[in-house]
Amino acid sequence: MPQIVVHHLNNSKSQRILWVLEELGLDYEIKFYQRNPGFAPPEMKQVHPLGKAPAVEIDGSVMAESGAIVEYLVDRHGAGKLAPDRASPQYGHYLEMMHYPEGSFSMPVVFPLFIGAFGVKSDAFQAYAESQIALQLDYVSLLLTGYDYLVDNRFTAADLQITFILQTARGLGFLGARPVLGDYLDRLEARPAYKKAIEKGGPFDLSFGRG
């Protein structure tokens, strides 16, 4: 079995790693870190120079990008789970959906956090941020219209990968008018492996004080 250590920061994307490990049934160890106050603590730089979460030790190597870690674990240990076959016509779409959350989708959703944190006062930027958030949420809603999951209508790592960004959007109050996305998150959060990951990883809250 692989030797895996997850350096886990509360309320972070390292939750993805615990979830995929539970979906794959792999053994792992968790080392816990707490935000200080809102950022990763400096001791995480002792694990990886970027000092970010997740940082995961896998068979003696350290990886620090959640999307790459998820893709690596599924490729190496999935044995046909969580991804379509590489020869499948769906494989290209799967790769697109694996990279979309941290590519086009992530930054617009967190714009409001930056606006608040840095006191940005710009009507033009506010309007741009709102238009970009709506664009991304409309796109995901379109992908899910008539489907339960993003790729081949079955749960894959792409669904796991997008969950954190959608949870962030929900925490910021953006999903109220999009029941397709709310129902989608309900399905994902009902998965036994997701619940087990939350149980092992500890409290998980992306409400940003709005709850």
pLDDT at 150: 98
Least confident of 81-90, 156-165, 167-176: 167-176
Q: What is the DSSP string of 122-171?
A: -HHHHHHHHHHHHHHHHHHHHHHTT-SSSBTTB--HHHHHHHHHHHHHHH
What is the predicted pLDDT for the residue at 123? 80
Q: What pLDDT score does 121 carry?
A: 78
> Which tens digit of pLDDT belongs to each residue from 144-164?
999 999 999 999 999 999 999
Across the chain, mean pLDDT equals: 91
Q: Give pLDDT, residue 63.
A: 95
| Averaged pLDDT, 92-107 | 96
Q: What is the pLDDT of residue 124?
A: 83
Pairing mode, strands 29-33 and 61-63 = unpaired
How far apart are alpha carbons 82 and 61 in whole angstroms?
23
Tell me the residue type at 162: I
Which amino acid, 1? Answer: M
Look at residue 114 and tell me whether its pLDDT is greater than 90: no
Q: What is the pLDDT of residues 45-65, one digit of tens each?
A: 999 999 988 999 998 899 999
Phi, psi of 11 (to 5 degrees): 50, 45
Q: Where are the alpha helices (DSSP H) in the chain?
A: 14-24, 66-77, 91-99, 106-117, 123-144, 157-171, 179-189, 192-201
**Residue 210: predicted pLDDT:** 58
- Kindly tell me if the per-residue pLDDT of 130 is higher than 90: no
Residue 173 reports pLDDT greater than 60: yes
Residues 178-207: tens digit of each pLDDT: 999 999 999 999 999 999 999 999 988 887
Can you read off the two tokens belonging to residue 94? Answer: 């799967």
Q: What is the pTM of this model?
A: 0.93
- Pair 10, 33: CB distance under 8 Å: yes
Are the C-beta atoms of 132 and 73 separated by less than 8 Å? no
Tokens representing residue 40 in the block:
């990763």
Nearest to 161 by CA among 72, 38, 49: 72
Domains of the chain, CATH where assigned = 4-82 (3.40.30.10), 91-191 (1.20.1050.10)
